[in-house]
Structure 1
Amino acid sequence: MQVATGKSVLNGISIGKIKVYKAPKLEIDDSLIDDIEAELARFDDARERAIEQQNALYEKAVIDAGEDSAEVFSVHAMMLEDDDLIDATNEIIKTQKHTAEYAVKVAFDNQAKVFAEMDDPYMKERAADIYDIEHAVLGYLFGISGDILQGTEPCILVANDLTPSETVRLNKSLLLGIITREGSLNSHTAILARSMGIPALVQCKDVNEDWEGKPAIIDGYNSCAYIEPTDDLEKTLRKRKEKDAKQRALLQELKGKSNTTIDGKTIQVYANIGGPSDIGLVQQNDAGGVGLFRSEFVYLNARDYPSEEEQFNAYRLAIETLAPKQVIIRTCDIGADKQVEYMGMEKEENPALGLRAIRICLTRKAFFKTQLRALLRASAYGNLGIMFPMIISMRELRECKELLAECAEELKKQGVKIGKYAVGIMIETPAAVLIADELAEECDFFSIGTNDLTQYTLAIDRQNAALDPFLAKHHPAVLRQIKMTIDAGHRHGTWVGICGELGADLALTETFLRMGVDELSVNPVSVLPLRKIIRGIDLRKEPGAGLTDETEAVSTAPTE
């Protein structure tokens, strides 16, 4: 038996035979051509066919993985219409008299290298998008079909890497799991695999072509794969796989039931979403509302500043569909690890401590007011909460509220209907914790962003994997700040929730309930496991004593 390690994209167990995918080798030489016009026409035809392919992949991905995950293919189609990329390719054909294949390889590779050399991790990943569309165009130039990658039998697919296009073309009914030598947890391929519920392992340096046809098991919980596992190990992991399936079925029985502890304390369980395409997951998992609508994805998925109308339509869809449930929308949280090229942000030595979130909004007020107007218009269609991120002072909060009031007055004068809405802030810095009493006087609610609160409290960059050994997610300094925030909010009649990753940490659920938290907002698939834990807690007993055996079993299971 061989044990191969990597990084797990999705918790879960996958068992099956391996199919090794080998990308077709495209032999491109530097031979010259005589008919330039014919070669230009070949490139244009291949590019148009590649655009049609990306649009078709978008439609397939919407069904398999959701609209947000599918958006990459719309971006690919737009990239293939980029004038600079087209001109660069045509210029090589015209002036150097090279084949279309050679011109595409050189021009597209040059563009990919520009992205690959950028410091920002998100922008680095865009190099993979260029290579993806390059392969699509070359595929048509060479007459190669990439529709069948994994054969006709159920398999665990092993590859050096997979582009987003290759991932979506996979037959999901035959795909048991994915193992790749390259890739990252932030790549589009990883996101797609996660969205489709496929256990996958990336950065597995042990990948070997000799694995072809061998039995294997992906253990997503322990970030490894077993090649030719022993009978005993396979038996154990099959039991775990069956247990996971039974657990998911049992959790479905909790739909419609309250989030009430044995001793009668009820807590709200909301969902975190990235956009309107996640609404189905909120409903499917029976969340009580949306505690965090990450509006930055409206910006990240756009090629230019989204208009007021575009934003209004996105916000209205979520608010109207889920009414009367509350939908809390966080205003634009661009910056740090989330960058958009069209905003023209200057490079910063330490972006996590730089111009991000509310700091961008308050220095670009016209940009901010566009979003606030869209939110106010959408408030007429349901139960809206507006949440400002990265607030560290009373001045910032008051300035935000003044701009909000200014927008409301403008809309009223235009005869635009505005509904009722709540106003709150993210508590995600020690500064906000220490002035929480003052902030609470001007807020309807607090939502504690534990990801950034942990980062800023421990002085650890949460994007730096090398610091993982030093990152104590349950650090007492972080937990004490959460308790301080809850107490401060309650002193002023302000309800307090948690929307960071710790909210889904089932080992802390009882701790948070004893602190008095009012709401926990988690990724949609964690809603029912969290409800299960809450319903098994008895706050009248000593800490930890309220957990039943069944609840303990759930609490030890990873929630993704």
Structure 2
Amino acid sequence: MLNTLRKIVQEVNAAKDLKAALGIIVLRVREAMGTQVCSVYLLDADTNRFVLMATEGLNKRSIGKVSMAPNEGLVGLVGTREEPLNLENASEHPRYRYFAETGEERYASFLGAPIIHHRRVMGVLVVQQKDKRQFDEGEEAFLVTMSAQLAGVIAHAEATGSIRGLGKLGKGIQEAKFVGVPGAPGVAVGKAVVVLPPADLEVVPDKSIDDVEAEIELFKQALESVREDMRNLSSKLATQLRKEERALFDVYLMMLDDASIGQEVKRIIRNGQWAQGALRQVVMEHVARFELMDDAYLRERASDVKDIGRRILAYLQEERQQTLTYPDQTIIVSEELSPAMLGEVPEGKLVGLISVLGSGNSHVAILARAMGIPTVMGAVDLPYSKVDGIDLIVDGYHGEIYTNPSPQLVKQYGEVVAEEKELSKGLAALRELPCETLDGHRMPLWVNTGLLADVARAQERGAEGVGLYRTEVPFMINDRFPSEKEQLAIYREQLSAFHPLPVTMRTLDIGGDKALSYFPIKEENPFLGWRGIRVTLDHPEIFLVQTRAMLKASEGLNNLRILLPMISGTHELEEALHLIHRAWGEIRDEGVDIPMPPIGMMVEIPAAVYQTRELARQVDFLSVGSNDLTQYLLAVDRNNPRVADLYDYLHPAVLQALKKVVDDAHTEGKPVSICGEMAGDPAAAVLLMAMGFDSLSMNATNLPKVKWLLRQITLSKARELLGQLMTFDNPQVIHSSLHLALRNLGLGRVINPAATIQG
């Protein structure tokens, strides 16, 4: 049965449209189950009726004509109950309804299973037989499994149809909504430009050659042409990106080095294979190796290698990438976005990005945030190859995409875009003003940084310090562990840029969705595995070099604070503090006279929430990592689009945990800050201030919005609001009540306006 199931799904996947897909389903399921009838009914959202869309065994002239409401017939019963129905004699059931045009009076037994995709009932799959008999457990299980497998395929085919004007009921082009993962915040309204790979490596055949040297020369020319393209793209983006972000292009150049891919390809050419075949062999081996590692960062590397291979192949085939024309409001759509694709769009025309694959932590998402381009990653249900040239809306706040949006939706989102532009102009005036509430409470606003471009943006927006400097970024864009001297230079630049303001440097936080190509970590469950402080305590040589570099970099500046990630208990904390004191002693012995900086730890594991007081006694400050804490408290992978709607930092459990951490830290006389997406949400920032957080650290883009809102409210009002919301047990109720309360106070201006739009 499993084999049959696999074959049917493969055949349906290859169907050219929804009608063909449904035709294959009913034919193959009827054959596999040996029944006389198999039919598919789909729920039409406009009329809310189940419509017969395909059948083998009933009268085909009734297709598209016979329909029933959810409260009618056996099909309606299966759809509303959302569970299978197995009847020996269907006509005896009180809900049985007879349609003369189908000719179904001849069939006694009935088995129906609902087709459900992402909680939405899409239709019902039915098999029928003449003789009265109960379908056995195996048959019922097969039909249920078939329905579950086909739900996604039908949803995909239906979406493709609606995009291209072949809607499931033959209607014209329809608006459709797809959900991915937020990659970079903001809203974009524009036209889709689909970037397909310039050449397909997988179909390159093997071919033997006589003139090896001529073939090697041909390959070298192609290699140099791609190198030149990369250099040009890097310099083209020079005005938009700082040195550190542009280093991503150096990764490409490094891969193109003669000692890397080039050397391997030449070796295969010397064995008599033509350049294109040798290139395919080398690239596909690298890609297969990376993809087997099952690691987010290394998967990004696999797509980089693929992209390079395609570019070289395009030159070998003496054809450049298809000439694309970019409209004024370009939204780039690709199966796998690469950093190079961003640079190919003329400056000023790129407004949004969509990637079918990838997470919010991929190279492209990091670049998109640095460049301020609204981005949605992981849009797995989007039939991307079909959207070229159509109107799109990208909602980077919620990770949502609208294809063929209605004029009303375009108008609503257009107003959001205009409002964001207007707002950022108005907020710029707040730069020099303190973040102080109407009743005089001072709330320091800090920034999260990692890329050099963050420095300028943070200073433009009036940040009062750095609450989180992600030291892993320089490690991630390197091809080896940076030396103490290299780290010292990077950290010194960061500390000098913000001096005399404090800079909180988090020690190396790799693992989970952040890996190093030269230090692969392969795990079944990386988020619950070897990550953060666990890695660096197991490798004290890495930890000590980094700590020494941080301490030396702070000489004469004295604005360093060190932060330890992923602490789950006092034993880890004691071990880390011992290593920091050891590093401090070593550099003092070398004659570098610096005071011991404040040391803090991150509260991002639920275990730390319940040991806050014990942990707080050993450090100078605490910092809550709201992203991971939410993820671990709710057991939700925040990069997984299937459960993205369950990830919610306003969940009652998260709010209660945050309040406990603040209260316990303050009981021990220690300050506590919060960094993460929550601190940068203006509405959530009101609650964090009310809880008693001593500082909020956020993305520089959001800082002016948070400052504007906190300057318009009193601390007493914020506390009153928090008190009300802490009594609620439902995150949706908390969201709506919070936003309503702020709007009633006339403070709805900076709360994400896209939140109120319904597609």
TM-score by length of 2: 0.68
1:142 partnered with 2:317? yes
Is the 1:116–1:125 Cα contact (8 Å) retained in structure 2?
no
Partners of 2:703 and 2:256 in 1: how far apart? 40
More displaced 10-residue stretch of structure 1: 359-368 or 191-200: 191-200
Specify which structure has the bigger relative contact order, considering alpha-carbon pairs within 8 angstroms and separated by 6 or more residues. Answer: 1
Is the 2:603–2:622 Cα contact (8 Å) retained in structure 1?
yes
Structure 1: 5+ residue stretches without partners:
none
Shift of 1:146: 4.5
Q: Select the residue among 630, 644, 649 that pairs with 1:468.
A: 644
Shift of 1:454: 2.2
More displaced 10-residue stretch of structure 1: 395-404 or 214-223: 214-223
Shift of 1:328: 0.2
The percent identity for this pair of structures is 35
Q: Select the residue among 621, 629, 634 that pairs with 1:458.
A: 634
- Aligned pairs for 1:423-442 (under 5 A) are 423-442=599-618
1:409 partnered with 2:585? yes
- Aligned pairs for 1:127-206 (under 5 A) are 127-146=302-321, 149-151=324-326, 155-159=330-334, 161-179=336-354, 184-202=359-377, 203=379, 205-206=382-383
Q: Name segments (4+ residues, structure 1) moved above 6 Å.
A: 544-548
Number of the residue aligned with 2:280: 105
Partners of 1:105 and 1:478 in 2: how far apart? 49
Partners of 1:461 and 1:201 in 2: how far apart? 16
Structure 1: which amino acid aligns with 2:341? E
Cα distance change of structure 1 residues 199 and 555 upon mapping to structure 2, 3 Å threshold: closer
Is the 2:242–2:452 Cα contact (8 Å) retained in structure 1?
no
Is the 2:332–2:352 Cα contact (8 Å) retained in structure 1?
yes
Is the 1:383–1:420 Cα contact (8 Å) retained in structure 2?
no
Cα distance change of structure 1 residues 331 and 140 upon mapping to structure 2, 3 Å threshold: same
TM-score by length of 1: 0.90
Is the 2:742–2:748 Cα contact (8 Å) retained in structure 1?
no
Partners of 2:481 and 2:451 in 1: how far apart? 16
Shift of 1:516: 1.0
Structure 2: which amino acid aligns with 1:552? G
Query: Residue 568 of structure 2: SS of its match in structure 1?
Result: coil
Is the 1:66–1:195 Cα contact (8 Å) retained in structure 2?
no
Partners of 1:251 and 1:445 in 2: how far apart? 31
Shift of 1:254: 1.2
Number of the residue aligned with 1:375: 550
Number of the residue aligned with 2:524: 349
1:364 partnered with 2:536? no
Shift of 1:188: 3.1
1:552 partnered with 2:552? no
Q: Select the residue among 175, 183, 199 that pairs with 1:3.
A: 175
1:14 partnered with 2:188? yes
Structure 2: 5+ residue stretches without partners:
1-172, 722-737
Shift of 1:377: 0.4
Number of the residue aligned with 2:96: none
Number of the residue aligned with 2:704: 528
Structure 2: which amino acid aligns with 1:177? G
Partners of 2:208 and 2:586 in 1: how far apart? 64
Partners of 2:284 and 2:587 in 1: how far apart? 49
Partners of 2:197 and 2:639 in 1: how far apart? 31
Partners of 1:546 and 1:199 in 2: how far apart? 25
Number of the residue aligned with 1:539: 715
- Aligned pairs for 1:44-443 (under 5 A) are 44-81=220-257, 83=259, 85-95=261-271, 97-146=272-321, 149-151=324-326, 155-159=330-334, 161-179=336-354, 184-202=359-377, 203=379, 205-207=382-384, 209=386, 211-212=388-389, 215-220=391-396, 223-225=399-401, 229-343=405-519, 345=521, 347-380=522-555, 381-419=557-595, 421-443=597-619
Cα displacement string for residues 449-488 of structure 1 (whole angstroms, at most 9, x for unaligned residues): 1222223333334444433344342232222222222122
More displaced 10-residue stretch of structure 1: 222-231 or 406-415: 222-231
Shift of 1:119: 1.3
Structure 1: which amino acid aligns with 2:750? V
Q: Select the residue among 660, 675, 685 that pairs with 1:499.
A: 675
Partners of 1:37 and 1:344 in 2: how far apart? 37
Number of the residue aligned with 1:41: 217
Query: Residue 189 of structure 1: SS of its match in structure 2?
Result: helix
Number of the residue aligned with 2:62: none
Structure 2: which amino acid aligns with 1:551? L
Is the 2:416–2:754 Cα contact (8 Å) retained in structure 1?
no
More displaced 10-residue stretch of structure 1: 200-209 or 535-544: 200-209
Cα distance change of structure 1 residues 357 and 99 upon mapping to structure 2, 3 Å threshold: same
Structure 1: which amino acid aligns with 2:282? A
Is the 2:509–2:531 Cα contact (8 Å) retained in structure 1?
yes
Cα distance change of structure 1 residues 161 and 444 upon mapping to structure 2, 3 Å threshold: closer
Partners of 2:471 and 2:311 in 1: how far apart? 32
Cα distance change of structure 1 residues 233 and 363 upon mapping to structure 2, 3 Å threshold: closer
Is the 1:3–1:224 Cα contact (8 Å) retained in structure 2?
no
Structure 2: which amino acid aligns with 1:3? E
Query: Residue 448 of structure 1: SS of its match in structure 2?
Result: strand
Is the 1:104–1:134 Cα contact (8 Å) retained in structure 2?
yes
Partners of 2:396 and 2:536 in 1: how far apart? 40
More displaced 10-residue stretch of structure 1: 117-126 or 521-530: 117-126
Is the 1:154–1:176 Cα contact (8 Å) retained in structure 2?
yes
Cα distance change of structure 1 residues 334 and 14 upon mapping to structure 2, 3 Å threshold: closer
Partners of 2:533 and 2:336 in 1: how far apart? 38
Matched pairs, number: 556
Partners of 1:275 and 1:10 in 2: how far apart? 15
Q: Quick check: which has more Rg, 1 or 2?
A: 2
Cα distance change of structure 1 residues 427 and 402 upon mapping to structure 2, 3 Å threshold: same
Cα displacement string for residues 245-285 of structure 1 (whole angstroms, at most 9, x for unaligned residues): 11111111211111111111111110011144421121122
Cα distance change of structure 1 residues 428 and 21 upon mapping to structure 2, 3 Å threshold: closer
Shift of 1:125: 1.8
Query: Residue 385 of structure 1: SS of its match in structure 2?
Result: strand
Cα distance change of structure 1 residues 278 and 177 upon mapping to structure 2, 3 Å threshold: closer
More displaced 10-residue stretch of structure 1: 465-474 or 214-223: 214-223
Partners of 2:668 and 2:742 in 1: how far apart? 30
Is the 2:198–2:320 Cα contact (8 Å) retained in structure 1?
no
Partners of 1:510 and 1:225 in 2: how far apart? 29
Partners of 1:406 and 1:224 in 2: how far apart? 49
Partners of 2:196 and 2:577 in 1: how far apart? 57
Query: Residue 311 of structure 2: SS of its match in structure 1?
Result: helix
Cα distance change of structure 1 residues 231 and 62 upon mapping to structure 2, 3 Å threshold: same
More displaced 10-residue stretch of structure 1: 86-95 or 144-153: 144-153
Shift of 1:335: 1.8
Shift of 1:504: 1.9
